[in-house]
A and B are shown apart, each in its own frame.
Chain A
């Protein structure tokens, strides 16, 4: 098989897996945050701030994976 094709295949599968992980992480985070807001509506500002930071960290990890797949696709 063409090694270049394998690299493209790996990049595509890798991007998909990274998005699954990131989506699941941020989804769980949002679910927990919404639950917290529903229980404590007056803590909404604190929860939102903490949620955005955590989402940013999850997103950062996801982007590491995506950069690797992009490098795989363009090399």
Chain B
């Protein structure tokens, strides 16, 4: 992302030897036509100059002469393209990895498994867990005692705790990994959240079917004592509600993960947009943008925990709903 920002900044301040038109027009075409091969170079450049990005308006702008720079940058990518390039799925490492979200999906999954194994290891031999084990234990106990037991039912919550813990730690880890530079938020892809919600949906239905049988489960959807005349309305509504729940889980997690990254990118993009007007405007925008971006970044830390909690809690509530239908 910062590599693209840098490219935009450099386009806004062309080198004095070349004319702006000759320099800038081929670049967007080349970038949109073949994004994959350019990536290693662009990313390496972004890596090296990432820290210097805020300073570049001051460094290059005196040669730019304002008007020519703004004209040259008009041919650059639209801001929306840059924002969506940052949050959408795409190749990584110059096409070596076809889908960065898939790569990070497996990376996060392996990390969660590794953390679970490491924290379980500290229990072996009857020791009181220390360090990582104790930290993970407090979260697992929180999910069992505060999320699973009260919502699914006392004594039954323990059965669903492993699933809920998997949801919680996977979503939390995916969001936290996504905050690292040059990484991707795998839960910011609607296919990933749809997969998570499908597992949640299967768990909800299984909670009802395993307890009451298939016929009993569907019979439970309609509250007892319902007038027969209302049944044609109630049955479609209940079946619709069955599928709305996982759909809402999908959209909620996806949009939350997407929104924070889009806001951060937009805030940082403001620097180069202002820099296209005048280099002083860009320089003045830089501290404001960075402070706001850091603020949103901290908010994202909070959102990572809240969304992991909400997804887990709602799954537990829905499971409890099917395990204990209205009497």
Q: Which residues of A contact B (CB under 8 A)?
A: 49, 52-53, 56-57, 59-60, 63-64, 66-67, 73-74
> Does B80 touch A at the CB level, under 8 Å?
yes
> Is A66's CB under 8 angstroms from B259's CB?
yes
Q: Is the interface of B mostly helix, strand, loop or mixed?
A: helix
Q: Which residues of B contact A (CB under 8 A)?
A: 80, 84, 146, 248, 251-252, 255-256, 259, 306, 309-310, 313-314, 317
**Which B residues are CB-close (under 8 A) to A56?**
252, 310, 313-314
**Which A residues are CB-close (under 8 A) to B84?**
74
> Is B314's CB under 8 angstroms from A53's CB?
yes
> Is B310's CB under 8 angstroms from A53's CB?
yes
Q: Known interface pairs A53-B317, A56-B314. Does A74 touch B80 (Cβ–Cβ under 8 Å)? A: yes
Q: Is the interface of A mostly helix, strand, loop or mixed?
A: helix
Shortest 7 CB-CB contacts between residues of A and residues of B: A63-B255, A60-B252, A56-B310, A60-B248, A63-B251, A63-B252, A67-B255
* Cβ-defined partner of A60 (8 Å) among B251, B259, B317: B251
21 contacts between A and B (CB under 8 A): A52-B306, A52-B310, A52-B313, A53-B310, A53-B314, A53-B317, A56-B313, A56-B314, A59-B252, A59-B256, A60-B248, A60-B251, A63-B251, A63-B252, A64-B251, A66-B255, A66-B259, A67-B255, A73-B80, A74-B80, A74-B84
A66 vs B259: C-alpha distance when bound (angstroms) = 10
Known: A52-B306, A56-B314, A67-B255. 15 other contacts (CB 8 A): A52-B310, A52-B313, A53-B310, A53-B314, A56-B252, A56-B313, A59-B256, A60-B252, A63-B252, A63-B255, A63-B256, A63-B259, A64-B251, A67-B251, A74-B84
> Which of chain B's residues has its CB closest to A73's CB?
B80
**Which B residues are CB-close (under 8 A) to A63?**
251-252, 255-256, 259
B175–chain A nearest beta-carbon distance, Å: 15
**Which B residues are CB-close (under 8 A) to A73?**
80
B93–chain A nearest beta-carbon distance, Å: 26
A31–chain B nearest beta-carbon distance, Å: 19
**Which B residues are CB-close (under 8 A) to A67?**
251, 255
> Is A53's CB under 8 angstroms from B313's CB?
yes
